[in-house]
Amino acid sequence: MRLVKPSFKILEIMELYGSYGVGSDVLRAIERAGRVCYKSEKEITEASCYPFIQKLLRLNHESVLEHSAMTVKFVCDRGVSHELVRHRLASYSQESTRYCNYKNHITFVIPPWVNIDEGEYESAPHLSKADINWFLAMKQAAETYTLLLTHYHWSPQQARSVLPNSLKTEIVMTANLREWRHVLKLRTAKAAHPQMRELMIPLLKELKGRIPIIFDDIEEEE
């Protein structure tokens, strides 16, 4: 049984005329599209995209941001993925418990309130009573799942019924930048689930470094 922490990886940031993953190119693509609304294409300069997009955001003219999109791969537990796919203005590809067979290697995601390190485990390390109970529940689920597959010859889609929300899943999400703004505002808020915040707050910080302006006004709540 393997225990891991959640993680993410930005796979691609797309602009209108290609995919480069360079923040300034994304802004220029958005500007090229947005200036059509005002027929001000002649005002485009090397740096004009910055004030133009700042103005769009001040005016809540965010539909122009839909001309660029981003793809992110998340490693999280099934509970978090169930919340993530509720954002319908996006496309998803997710690891399937119907077709993936975990009998030789099952992985669970460590919640932020469980004090245990990543790694391979056969027995419970020295933990608090609550953490031990979580660990033992994962161990029991893994053993039962394997038993149903190997001894009773259940298929993966049948045996998955004993797997908990803490099961590791990988999910790829693609959405336009306007939708990512909505997702990040909602999922970094204080009221968001702690495991969702554990993923989304670092993602927001990385995006602020990679794409100027677009996400600068979003502040995670303490």
From 35, 178, 181, 187, active-site residue: 187
- CA–CA distance, 151 with 165 (Å, rounded to integer): 24
Cα(181)–Cα(218) distance, integer angstroms: 8
Distance, in Å, from the CA atom of 170 to the CA atom of 96, rounded to the nearest integer, reads 9
187 is annotated as an active-site residue: yes
Nearest to 103 by CA among 162, 148, 140, 165: 148
Catalytic residue numbers, as ranges: 187
